[in-house]
Copies of this chain bind each other. A is one copy, B any other.
Amino acid sequence: MATTILRPYMSSYSKQLFPETPFNKRIVVTCAALDFSDTISKRPELSLSVGTHLIPHPNKVEKGGEDAFFVSNYKGGVIAVADGVSGWAEKDVDPARFSRQFITYASTFVEDEEVNYDPRRLIKKAHAATSCIGSATVIVAMLETTGILKIANVGDCGVRIIRKGQLIFSTCPQEHYFDCPYQLSSEDVGQTYLDATVTTVELVNDDTIIMGSDGLFDNIFDSEIVSILAAHLSVSDAAKALADLAHNHSKDLGFDSPHAREARTKGIELPSWKRFLGMKLTGGKLDDITVIVAQVKAL
């Protein structure tokens, strides 16, 4: 195991292209021992220490926004976010009702025998129980005490995992086209648990999970997430700092946000007179912002 200071060889290319960069003078962080052992059975039992923060869309503050989430300490720990699809408001349907009802049922069924601690089955059962009209993107993550994190994702909520100051895992958003995510719905045309992307990641002590609605990931870069986590020791402080930064970016018309970059990549353009003036599409995205920060801890 690498416990001494590492001096790995860099590619010769690096020096050729960036001759002024003093690679060989950089200090390399000591690679401390991970607590993986050869077999799962030898690992310490792990659980989650969780902080959460939700900032509603500025126009939806009174009703608390349309996101919903829950956290449970069942087994290693369960975290989940649902984001009500706002287009329903045009049909005089409150988009918050579906996401909240889904999360209520998900938290109710989390220990259900039929669910068998499987995030896709939890999505199936909670979706089947909903009676409201509406739709929502949802993500559920369940930690086994052995360190296996199981994630099921429908739409553009997301998870990032940071280990030793480095992003080691990221979910990919599912969408039909730009800004139209996969969604569980009261209508037959929506997605179901069968459309969930299901992944697992082996976690170790001190890994940090960041789960959020798209309001977080549309307004903050992964590099900013890494920096904020490094600057905040407590999970609740980190959750608040992430939500605050995303919220500030969301109101900043000049910020070249992940959402604006994605829009440009997908061919979305400003009106032609603005392009003629040399302007480019920038800005954050006003939205509900839900953040769950969960740190893995050995019991």
A interface residues, Cβ below 8 angstroms from B = 1-2, 4-14, 17-21, 23, 26, 28-29, 31, 33-34, 36, 38, 85-90, 121, 124, 135, 163, 166-170, 172, 174-181, 183, 185, 188-192, 194-195, 197-202, 223, 263, 265, 268-269, 271, 281, 283, 285-287
Contacts and interface: CB of A to CB of B under 8 A. Distances in A.
Give the most central of A17, A26, A285, A286: most B CB within 10 Å: A17
Given A199-B199, A268-B18, A283-B17, A180 B223 contact: no
Contacts of A7: 189
Contacts of A197: 163, 168-169, 201-202
A50 B26 CA distance: 41
Nearest to A199: B201
Given A176-B28, A199-B199, A8 B190 contact: yes
A89 B189 contact: no
Contact of A178 (B14, B199, B281): B14
Give the most central of A9, A13, A33, A183: most B CB within 10 Å: A9
Nearest to A90: B12
